[in-house]
Amino acid sequence: MRVVFLAPTFPPEMIQYTRGLAEVGAKVYGIADTPRAGLPKELKPYLHDYLQVPRIMDEDDVIERATTWLKGVPVDRVLANWEPLVILAARMRERWGMPGMSSDIVRGFRDKQLMKERVRAAGLRVPKSKRCTSQREIREAAEEIGYPLVLKPIAGAGSADTYRVGDAKELEATLQKVRHVQELSCEEYVTGEEFTFDTVCIGGKPAYENIAAYLPKPIEARSNEWISPVIITVRDMYQARLKPGVELGRDVLKALGMGDGFTHMEWFLTPRGEAVFGEIGCRPGGAHIVDQMNYTSDIDLFREWARVATWRSFEANVPRKYNVGIVFKRAFGQGRITRVEGLGQWLKEAGPWCVEEALFRPGMQRRNWKNTLLSDGHVVVRHPDWAEAHRLSFAAATGIRLFAQ
């Protein structure tokens, strides 16, 4: 089994997917714009060969260089787990005539407006939305959809350049912040709780499923620096209250023609108990959510994804043992971390339920909290009881404090 894997070095968790591919017997041909000499040492044992390209985002150039490089090599799969490269992977599959989702199907997972149109056509509840390429179109869409609304990039990932707009005055201010974005989705703001629906699929059918709760909603966490965002996987994901979200997620996969691999969907649960589609990607979620899922069931989804992507088989047992909370911390102040308060007390309180602690230490430079959810480090806690996992997560969110100057 010969596999081309795009961007095995970035984001950093792609090293784990490369490992998974090697461990299930694949020969991995990596392609990226990282110089060969700069490849992480932990990645090298899992690569069979590597091609450095000038710009990984230059799709036509990458396809031509890879075609020349692999001339005479019978490749079986082309894979990508980083959002900006999923269409490139599909185009390479089409060029070389190999299995996998087409570029048209993948575009339905990448283009947020097309995605909503296809999901809506299947009779599923989606927010009202319009594709906009100018400020005039945005203003017109806002009048039609009404406030509050959300502005987000058509081909974005995460919450980058995503804003909640409460009225016409806020819209004018927001338009200045998104001037650099070529295509935007102007859509209805859905009131309610926000969750994920994550899967590893074989032929569009989930072999593994997960739900996680965003606390608070990402758009709110991104708007307030003082918030420590919390995400908790739900052990009892098939409870009656969340059943509409599971059903919605499975129906969305059918509507969009999902094939093999990871999906990461976001959906809303309204106060009336209605599940409303948000968006979906045909790739894993970021911000350590795959690590959370691994802690939830004591499995290795990096390896199981690789087994699915190559051999179309999922072998792990998946008992849902724990609710797993991750808490991302943001330091007070700017510059370098000067001190961390409350960590020792929280670790003592969490005891064996803390499974990971990766907070920044004094001397480390703060990250720009608007550019990454990872912020200034995180802690991970798990517990079989939801209330206790929730309590320990928010004890970290409020009790641990980082300072910078």
Architecture of domain 2-100: 3-Layer(aba) Sandwich (3.40)
Regions of the chain where pLDDT drops below 50: none
Q: Amino acid letter at 254?
A: K
Cα gap 217→373, rounded to integer Å: 12
Give per-residue pLDDT as tens, 17-40. Answer: 999 999 999 999 999 999 999 999
Please give the mean pLDDT across all residues of the chain.
Answer: 96
pLDDT computed for residue 162 by the predictor = 87
Structure tokens belonging to residue 288? 């350590």
pLDDT computed for residue 154 by the predictor = 83
pLDDT computed for residue 159 by the predictor = 65
Phi, psi angles (nearest 5°) of residue 279: -165, 170
Indicate the CATH number for domain 190-317.
3.30.470.20
Whether 293 and 364 have beta carbons less than 8 Å apart is answered as: no
Burial classification of residue 276, based on how many CB atoms lie within 10 Å of its CB (0-12 exposed, 13-18 middle, 19 or more buried): buried
Residue of 391, 403, 379 whose CA lies nearest to 330:
403
pLDDT computed for residue 74 by the predictor = 95
Ordered by start, the domain boundaries in the chain are 2-100, 128-188, 190-317, 322-405
Give per-residue pLDDT as tens, 193-205. Answer: 999 999 999 999 9
Structure tokens belonging to residue 245? 């979200």
The SS3 of residue 172 is helix
The CATH H-level superfamily of 128-188 is: ATP-grasp fold, A domain (3.30.1490.20)
2-6/77-79 β-pairing: parallel
28 Cβ partners below 8 Å, 6+ apart? 3, 5, 8, 18, 21, 22, 46, 47, 48
Whether 403 and 333 have beta carbons less than 8 Å apart is answered as: yes
Cα gap 197→263, rounded to integer Å: 8
